[in-house]
Amino acid sequence: MATFIKGEVNILFIYKSTAPIGWKPIACLTSNSLATELATIESQTKCDPGVVVKSPGTFSYSIDAEGQYIDTTTAGGDTAKTSHDALLAIQMTKQNVQWKIDTNVNNATSVKYFGTANISSLNLDAAAGDELMTFSVTLDGSGNILNVDPNV
């Protein structure tokens, strides 16, 4: 029998290399996704005129996430999480980040993906009225997706 995994347990983390060192969840996400793509190389030769041969090309991926903006900077804020403010600071340094997607943070046998990416897009939305501030982020992958924590 299949075991179904709820989307709410699929958490996106960013690795913090300064004290306190470790994986910090991106705060209050409402959704996150991992999209992979394998390019196709098409070729034709004079040996087989009119026959198209397709071969695998480059592998690429991106991660999109949306969430509610929270205060992660003040003593009263949730400094254990990463929100728009921290993501913006990382993006402005033009450095890659290490990311992790974990399907269940309480289960040692859960599916985990790890990788490196740059923050290619970061948006902050602040509507008038009683609406909460939200943000969206896109991580543009660099290299392969791993199944083992590179920091262990």
Question: What is the C-alpha separation between 114 and 102, in angstroms, rounded?
Answer: 9
- Residue 121 pairs in a beta bridge with 138
The answer to whether the CB of 136 falls within 8 A of the CB of 123 is yes
Give 131's DSSP letter: P
Question: What is the C-alpha separation between 146 and 152, in angstroms, rounded?
Answer: 13
Question: What is the C-alpha separation between 41 and 59, in angstroms, rounded?
Answer: 12
Per-residue pLDDT of the chain (152 residues; tens, 9 = 90+): 667 777 888 899 999 887 778 899 998 899 999 999 999 999 998 888 889 999 999 999 999 999 998 877 766 666 778 888 889 989 999 999 999 999 875 666 678 999 999 999 999 999 888 788 999 999 999 999 999 999 88
**Domains assigned to the chain:** 11-39+58-146 (2.30.110)
In this prediction, residue 101 carries a pLDDT of 94
Question: What is the C-alpha separation between 152 and 98, in angstroms, rounded?
Answer: 13
**Residue-wise DSSP of 60-113:** EEEEEEEEE----SSTTS-TTSB-HHHHHHHHHTT--EEEEEES-TT-TTS-EE
The answer to whether the CB of 70 falls within 8 A of the CB of 87 is no
The β-bridge relationship of strands 134-146 and 97-102 is unpaired
